[in-house]
Structures are given as structure tokens and as C-alpha cells.
Structure 1
């Protein structure tokens, strides 16, 4: 999962980002509406954590713009405004969920996980390829009925590969979807994660390397 945090309180934004990264959720930060729109134009996000009261285009305006897109990310509106009318306005602008400040990071995480189970285009919560069953709802992986314990990052990488349905996913795409914009494009993190993921899943290998192109799930 990749998340964009749109929050003008830098300390809060960084605290959320660091908490998400501990859960292996890639997270970027935008401090105002213009910065958010710039990142949304070049990156693909699963969920946007959106403060309503930000400089530039406010949260409601950004939500309305995203709602007009055919495959927009889910929106979790984050704000100090807790009146019912405020919440109604947030939902009417296109928000999928609403969380008022102050809040517990654990609750934010649970809400993000719930939104992540319902990605754009209605992708199913359970995906099965080559005997591998990935359950986004329970965050579990099985191979031929046998439970496979994965780290959060391994789960995120496998999710991207299985979502591609056997299509080739480049290392750059994996960095974009399972890491964040601060990931070093020259890092060997993808190769190492793929290697350890293969070992966890066991033989015969179900993740193929397509030389010079990327990786894919075998059919």
C-alpha cells in the first residue's frame, strides 16, 4: 500500500509517516494543496490521508477533484472539525472515511487497512495465483493450504506481483508501489526482498525473473 499524507502540521505529518513506515506502508508527505496535486499527478496512491484545512486548494477541493477521476485513490479525511455538518460536507466532497483530531495512530492504521482492502476498480480482497492465496483482509498468505509467515514488506511486494495477474512488474514499479518516494532507485532492496520472499514461499519458485525487465508470478 502507498499513502499520501496531506497535512500542513509537519510534526504530525512526519509522526504519521514514521508510524506507517513501521508497518511497511509507503508514505509521502505534502504540506499544502498544491504540493498534494503535484504528487498525485506523478505517483499512484492507494489512500490519501487528507487534512481539510490546508493552504492552497483545501481538502474539500482536492477531494472533489479526485472524485472526478475514474481510478482515484480512497480518501480518509483528517480534521479537527468534528460536527456532524462538517463530516457530512467531507463525505459529500468525496471522502471515503473521516477521522477527527486528536486520534490514535492505531485507529488511523485500522482505517487505512480497511480502505486498502477496497482499492480502486474493486479489486478482490483475496487473490490466488499458482497455488498462492493472498488475503488482504486478514493479511495472510497460504501456499497449497499451508500458512506462509511473511514480513510486512514481503507481503507488500507479493501483493503488487499478484495484483499484476502474471504480468511483469519492473523493479522501479515495485519501489513505487511497496516503498515510497524517498527510496533510493539504485538500492538492491527489491532484489533482496524478492530473494527472501522466494525462500519463504518455497520450491518450486513461483516468482520468475524476466531478465532486464522485472518480475512476475509464474502461471
Structure 2
């Protein structure tokens, strides 16, 4: 899951980004409304965490712009004032929810999970493929009832493949979805993670080609039809 955080308070933004990264979200950080708008035009986001008081374009105006251009990702607004007027203005601008500073991380994660569920009605809570089961809420993965110990990036890569439902993912698409823009490695990193995932799945009893290579294009899960 990829989240855009638009927040000009850099210490707060870095703290929130680190906490969300620990929860296995990929987080991009924009420091003002214009930069946030530029990010949205380039990348697909599952959710935006949007401060109200921003340079260039404030949160209300950015949210209105998003909705007027047809962007439908959930928007969770951050407000420093727990006032009804701010909440009404934000909701009228197109926001889906709000959270008040100082931000409690437990509440933040609960609101993010709720918004992602609301915006992803077609996605089952447990992702399954053959003997594989992945629980996005508990970060547990098993194959034929054997639990797999995965790194955060391996988990995110496997979740991306499961949600793609046999669509072939190129290495560049995988990089775009799993790494922040400013810290994206080269495509060799994808090969390394795919190789590790295959080995762990094979050890649990999966076929060697459970993750198929479509040569010259990318990767997908093996069909069991």
C-alpha cells in the first residue's frame, strides 16, 4: 500500500513516515500542497494523509482539486484545531476522515486501516492463492498451514503479486510500488527479493515456479485453474 503524506512540519512528517513504514506502508512525503499535487499526477496512491495548514496550496484547496479532477483515493486530513468548522470544511472539500494533532499513532493506524478497507471493497481481508494465505492485518503468511518468516519487503512484494491477480508486474512497476521515490534501488533488488521469496515458498512445499517469470516482461503468480 502506497501513502502520500503532505505535511510541512518536517520533524512530524518524518516521525509519521517512519511509523507508517514500520507498518509496511510505502510512504512518499510532500512538504507543500503544490508538491503533493505533483506527486499525485505521477504516482497512484492508496491513501493521502493531508495537513490543512500548508504553504502554496492549503489542504482544503488541494482536496477540492483532487476531487474535481476525479481522484478518488481516501483522504485523511490532519488538523491542529479540534473545531467543528474545520471538520465540516474538510469533509465538504472531499476528505473522508480527519485526525487531530497531537497525533496518536494507534488512532492513526486504525483510521488508515478503516479508510483502506472502505476504499477497497473488492479486496478480501485474507488473500489466498493455491495453498498460500496472506493476512494484511496481522502480517502473517502461511503455505499449507506452515508459517513463512518474511522480511517487510518480501511481505509487501507477495501482497502486491496477490492483489494483482495474475497481471504481469514489471520490475519498474514493483520498484514504484514498494520503494519511496527518493530511495528506490535498481532493478536487481527486485530479482533478489523474488529469489528469496521463491526459496521460502519452496521450503514450505510450493512449486519452484509458484512465482512465474514472464521473460522480458516481469513476474506473476502461477495459475491453478
The TM-score normalised by the length of structure 2 is: 0.86
Residue segments in structure 2 that go unaligned for 5+ positions in a row: none
Is the contact between residue 118 and residue 125 of structure 1 (CA under 8 Å) also seen in structure 2?
Answer: no
Aligned residue pairs, count: 219
Q: Which residue of 2 aligns with 1:147?
A: 147
Measured after TM superposition, the shift of residue 120 of structure 1 is 4.9
Write out aligned runs for 1:110-129 (5 A): 110-120=110-120, 122-129=122-129
The structure with higher relative contact order (CA 8 Å, sep 6+) is 1
Residue segments in structure 1 that go unaligned for 5+ positions in a row: none
How far apart are the structure 2 equivalents of 1:117 and 1:148? 25
- Ranges of 4+ aligned residues in structure 1 off by more than 6 Å: none
Q: Which residue of 1 aligns with 2:221?
A: 217
Q: Which residue of 1 aligns with 2:207?
A: 204
List per-residue Cα deviations over 1:64-117 (Å, max 9, x = no partner).
233345552211111102112322222222222211101123432333233333
List per-residue Cα deviations over 1:168-211 (Å, max 9, x = no partner).
00111111111110233425322222222222223313111222
How far apart are the structure 2 equivalents of 1:21 and 1:136? 14
Change beyond 3 A, Cα 1:110–1:194: farther
> Is 1:61–2:65 an aligned residue pair?
no
Q: Which residue of 2 aligns with 1:23?
A: 23
SS class of match (1:115)? helix
Measured after TM superposition, the shift of residue 32 of structure 1 is 1.0
Q: Which residue of 2 aligns with 1:107?
A: 107
How far apart are the structure 2 equivalents of 1:57 and 1:155? 36
List per-residue Cα deviations over 1:136-192 (Å, max 9, x = no partner).
234333323443343322221111111111110011111111111023342532222
Change beyond 3 A, Cα 1:189–1:115: farther
Measured after TM superposition, the shift of residue 122 of structure 1 is 4.0
Change beyond 3 A, Cα 1:46–1:143: same
Is the contact between residue 74 and residue 120 of structure 1 (CA under 8 Å) also seen in structure 2?
Answer: no
Is the contact between residue 127 and residue 162 of structure 1 (CA under 8 Å) also seen in structure 2?
Answer: yes
Structure 1 or 2, whichever has the larger Rg, is 2
The TM-score normalised by the length of structure 1 is: 0.88
